[in-house]
Amino acid sequence: MATLAQLRRDYSDARLSLRAGLVQAARLIWEGLRHSPTAYDRASMPGFVDQLVPLVREGQAQEAALTVAMLRELSLLRTGVPTPDVDLSGLEGREGGVSLEDVYARPFVWLWTDLKNGKPFEVALDDAADRLGKSIEADLQLASRNAADAVIDADRRVIGFKRVLSERPNHCPLCVVASTNHYRKGDLLPIHPGCGCGVEPVYDSGDWDDDLNRQVADAYAEAIRSQQIAVLDHGEYGPYLVAA
């Protein structure tokens, strides 16, 4: 059986690979529109959305499956018993009934707005692609968070959960501070753009302490000394982590 460090590393690597691949595919589709006779006008929007949204849905399904598999292996490692089976349907879309079709029509609006405000076309096109990538990362993070929430909610043994920092070498100060918090069962993990944090259930009080989180917090002690965080109720993301 894999060690905790191996489980975390494999999970983090798989998520990073999935996100990078999907963001790259979306950028290629977006930039490929320049070769269309209706490049970046309203007529090209439906085709772009129809091509990208199924890829995002598949990415969300893969992200959710990765999260469920990781939590199952973690439960076996710590308790000898797997997590309960859960229903992962209904993970697509965002809070407030915002559909993926709505979300992925937005790059056109971003581009048109920047052009109207005088931004050069190539710069506006690249900025829209960057924002598109962040939207995809957010939707995959939402799928991961919702899957973890479903698993934790279904497991009567769980008393809470903790935020576990990713295995990436560079950590967001917001996430480092947030990783010191204890989260109750029923809470949703606050996220932010580009967030790569994971969720792990807590089965007893001894599980709250975490070597990885503590080591990173020690390394970032100076950077986070004055860092204050707040959690907002975002209309599309739900609990949303910001600097206070």
| Tens-digit pLDDT profile for residues 44-91 | 999 999 999 999 999 999 999 999 999 999 999 999 999 999 988 877
Q: What is the mean pLDDT of the chain?
A: 89
What pLDDT score does 41 carry?
93
Q: Is residue 210 scored above 80 in pLDDT?
A: no
Q: Name the pTM for this structure.
A: 0.91
Residue 193 sits at the vertex; the CA angle it makes with 170 and 214, to the nearest 5 degrees, is 40
Nearest to 4 by CA among 61, 60, 79, 65: 79
What pLDDT score does 166 carry?
76
What pLDDT score does 167 carry?
67
What's the pLDDT band for 141 if we cut at 50, 70, 90?
very high
Q: Is residue 223 scored above 70 in pLDDT?
A: no
What's the average model confidence in pLDDT over 1-24?
A: 92
What's the average model confidence in pLDDT over 95-114?
A: 94
Nearest to 53 by CA among 18, 16, 19, 103: 103
Q: Which range, 5-14, 63-72, 215-224, is most confident?
A: 63-72
Percent of all residues in the chain with a pLDDT value above 90, rounded to a whole number: 59
Q: Assess contact for 114 and 131: CB atoms under 8 A.
A: no
Sequence-distant (6+) residues with CB within 8 A of 244 are 228, 229, 230
Q: What residues are paired with 184 via a beta bridge?
A: 160
What's the average model confidence in pLDDT over 21-45?
A: 93
What pLDDT score does 102 carry?
95
What pLDDT score does 153 carry?
93
Sequence-distant (6+) residues with CB within 8 A of 69 are none
Q: Which range, 6-10, 25-29, 83-87, 144-148, is most confident?
A: 25-29
Residue 114 is encoded by which pair of tokens? 């920047």
